[in-house]
C-alpha cells in the first residue's frame, strides 16, 4: 500500500471565501406562511428590547423563551448571512449567553431562509 502524501489545498477560484453565520428568527406560527411567501417585513415596536426599533430581530440561537411565543404556536426561521451583514447591528447586552441583531428586512430577505421543524427547534433551544 502506498503512503499518502500531504494534502494539497484546492486551487484558488478567484472568489474569496465569505465568512457567514446562521441566525434565527422566532415568530408566531400564523405569521410563518406570510414570511415564507413574502419574506420578512419591517415591524416597529418593542421586542427583545426596551426601546423602539425598526428591523427584524435575529439571534445566534432560537430565542423561544425570550420571544414570548408558546412552543406549540411558534415558528422558527434559520437564515445564513455573511458576517458583514451583521456588523454594526448587534444589540446584545453584557452577560447574555447569546448574540442578537437588528437587521433591516430588505437586507435579511436577500439570503435564503428555511423554517425549522418542531424537532429541529427543540434540539436548538438550550
Q: Where are the domains of the chain?
A: 20-124
Instruction: Quote the CA–CA distance of 43 and 67 in Å, as a whole number.
Output: 14
Tell me the sheet residues that pair with 24.
59, 78
Residue 83: all three cell numbers together? 458576517
pLDDT, tens digit (0-9, with 9 covering 90-100), for 38-91 = 999 987 544 444 445 678 999 999 999 888 899 889 999 999 999 999 999 998
Calculated CA dihedral for residues 91, 95, 98, 104, nearest 10 degrees: 0
Report pTM.
0.77
CA end-to-end span of the chain, whole Å? Answer: 47
Amino acid at each position: 500500500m502506498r503512503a499518502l502524501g500531504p494534502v494539497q489545498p484546492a486551487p484558488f477560484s478567484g472568489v474569496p471565501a465569505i465568512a457567514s453565520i446562521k441566525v434565527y428568527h422566532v415568530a408566531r406560527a400564523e405569521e410563518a406562511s406570510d414570511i415564507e411567501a413574502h419574506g420578512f417585513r419591517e415591524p416597529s415596536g418593542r421586542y427583545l428590547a426596551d426601546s423602539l426599533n425598526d428591523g427584524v430581530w435575529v439571534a445566534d440561537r432560537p430565542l423561544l423563551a425570550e420571544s414570548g411565543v408558546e412552543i406549540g404556536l411558534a415558528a422558527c426561521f434559520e437564515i445564513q448571512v455573511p458576517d458583514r451583514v451583521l456588523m454594526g447591528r448587534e444589540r446584545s447586552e453584557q452577560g447574555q449567553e447569546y448574540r442578537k441583531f437588528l437587521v433591516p428586512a430588505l437586507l435579511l430577505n436577500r439570503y435564503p431562509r428555511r423554517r425549522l421543524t418542531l424537532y429541529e427547534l427543540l434540539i436548538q433551544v438550550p
